């Protein structure tokens, strides 16, 4: 299981920590934030692109292919159900995530196509496209020392 801790105090600036890494999320000034970090949605898009790039790199290394670098532009666009003819489900909204990838290096067209396919199978992509269940639990805000004293 992966674990990330998030803390927000007083503004939209949010501190995120995992293992020995700490970073910040925020909202732009025009949305009431102080713009000291990317938005959570930008982080999600970055996670998807980073995962795809890393997955392509790992595959190319395993195959001994001359992949010198990867550039990925990730976007998300929201559509109303009726505006997206390819969708026939129950939701009123469809989110389209698009990744435009460039693989640098002396690769063949077949290698580039295979890397595109492999990048599209990265773990973050799979989490976003497989069924997910969200479980929110409300915990007390008592200090840890008070709850352990019982």
Domain parsing of the chain, residue ranges: 1-37, 39-129
Inform me whether the pLDDT recorded for 149 exceeds 60.
Answer: no
Q: Which two tokens stand for residue 28?
A: 């732009």
Across-strand partners of 71? 102
Predicted confidence at residue 35, as pLDDT, reads 96
Average pLDDT score over residue span 18-39? 97
Q: What is the mean pLDDT of residues 2-8?
A: 94
Is residue 117 predicted with pLDDT exceeding 70? yes
For 2-150, where are the E strands, in sequence order? 5-8, 14-18, 21-25, 69-80, 93-104
Helix (H, G, I), strand (E, B), or coil: what is residue 76? strand
Q: Give the domain 39-129 fold.
A: GMP Synthetase; Chain A, domain 3 (3.30.300)
Query: Tokens 């990048």 sit at which residue?
Result: 119
Rounded to an integer, what distance in angstroms lies between the CA atom of residue 19 and that of residue 5?
Answer: 10
Percent pLDDT > 90 in the chain is 90
Q: Are 39 and 30 in contact (CB under 8 A)?
A: no
Whole-prediction pTM: 0.88
Cα torsion through 27, 30, 31, 33, rounded to 10: 40
Among residues 16, 44, 42, 70, which one has the least CA distance to residue 127?
44
Higher per-residue pLDDT: 23 or 150? 23
pLDDT mean over 39-46? 98
Residue 51: C-alpha distances to residues 18, 81, 86, 98, 126 (Å):
17, 28, 26, 14, 11
Confidence of residue 141 (pLDDT cuts 50, 70, 90): confident
Q: Is residue 85 predicted with pLDDT exceeding 70?
A: yes
With 0-12 CB in 10 A as exposed, 13-18 as middle and 19+ as buried, what is 83?
exposed
The band of 80, judged by pLDDT with boundaries at 50, 70 and 90, is very high
**Which pLDDT band, with edges at 50, 70 and 90, does 144 fall under?**
low
pLDDT digits (tens, 9 = 90+) for 50-59: 999 999 999 9
Q: What is the mean pLDDT of the chain?
A: 94
CA–CA gap between residue 70 and residue 104 (Å, rounded): 6
């Amino acid at each position: 299981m992966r674990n990330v801790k998030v803390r927000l105090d007083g503004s939209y600036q949010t501190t995120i920590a995992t293992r020995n890494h700490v970073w910040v999320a925020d909202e732009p000034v025009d949305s009431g934030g102080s713009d000291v970090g990317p938005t959570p949605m930008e982080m999600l898009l970055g996670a998807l692109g980073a995962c795809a790039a890393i997955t392509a790199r790992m595959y190319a290394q395993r195959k001994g292919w001359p992949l010198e670098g990867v550039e990925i532009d990730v976007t998300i666009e929201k559509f109303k159900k009726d505006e997206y003819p390819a969708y026939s489900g129950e939701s009123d909204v469809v989110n389209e995530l698009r990744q435009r990838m460039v693989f640098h290096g002396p690769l063949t067209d077949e290698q580039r196509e295979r890397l595109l396919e492999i990048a599209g199978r990265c773990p973050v992509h799979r989490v976003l496209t497989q069924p997910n269940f969200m479980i929110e639990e409300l915990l007390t805000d008592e200090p840890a020392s008070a709850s352990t004293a019982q």
